[in-house]
Amino acid sequence: MKEGQKIYFASDIHLGLPNHEISLRREKHFVNWLNEIRKDAAEIYLVGDIFDFWVDYKKVAPRGFTRFLGTIASIVDSGIPVHFFTGNHDIWMYDYLPEELGITLHRKEYIIERNNKRIFIAHGDGLGPGDHKFKLLKKVFTNKFLQWCFSRLHPNFALWIGHSWSRKSRFGQGKIPTYFGEDKEWLVLYAKEKLQKEHFDYFIFGHRHIAVEVILNENSKFINLGDWISNFTYAVFDGTDLSLKKFPPPPKVNLNPDGLE
């Protein structure tokens, strides 16, 4: 990293939730953040569930998100690498965004080393001792035959199914997740287990929609990135330390299943 540059991390924007009007407002706000951080960004990591639902087709692109996609393309074209992680809501992302935007796509956990700091990055769904629901869903959603069957559906119908399913999630219904504490949080337990085998200075996860930092030991820190539905949080590595930050929320953001304010 060059002096003065930083690495940024964000997750769980869930673009498309709960309706076009509110999603567009959050999209514009996230684009404002992207345009702010591009001034000193060395790299940007978007750690899963960027879209509330996404599926690639060979000849069809899902409608919407033009401001966000255009901004990412512009950032990549300027020479700043952007990394996308698939989450449980946008797991059916394949080659469209890498080819069109120039992003680097990650389907599994990813390890980087910057300024002698080892950073473990993953969306987090299906990791740890629990999370059985998502582990089962992930097996279903990554099944090649089922993916082929779903792709046979007309895009209008397939996207309607996907968005309908997404809006029935606890986040789509406006439920605020509870932090269970470091002795019960699956991803914290997963990070502690990883530390028994090898050293990492930082663990970065999304998925849980909670913004929290946990000191695992004197040399390792756990960070869950929160979300851009109610927290508007992100993490930044300045070359020495990695910590959570908060971007001022947009006015009058209210998420509920009917999209009413």
pLDDT on residue 113: 97
Token pair recorded at residue 216: 């695992």
Task: Give the residue, 19 or 152, on which the prediction is more confident.
Answer: 19
Taking a C-beta distance cutoff of 8 angstroms, is the pair 117, 241 a contact?
no
Least confident interval from 32-41, 111-120, 162-171: 162-171
Angle at CA 227, nearest 5°, toward 67 and 9? 75
Sheet with 41-46: list strands edge to edge. 104-106, 82-85, 41-46, 6-10, 233-237, 242-246
* Tens digits of residue pLDDT in 40-91: 999 999 999 999 988 887 777 788 899 999 999 999 999 999 999 998 888 7
pLDDT on residue 61: 77
Q: Which residues make Cβ contacts (< 8 Å) with residue 255, sequence separation at least 6? A: 17, 18, 22, 171, 174, 229, 230
6-246 CATH fold: Purple Acid Phosphatase; chain A, domain 2 (3.60.21)
If pLDDT is split at 50, 70 and 90, which confidence band does 120 have? very high
**Residue boundaries of the structural domains of the chain:** 6-246
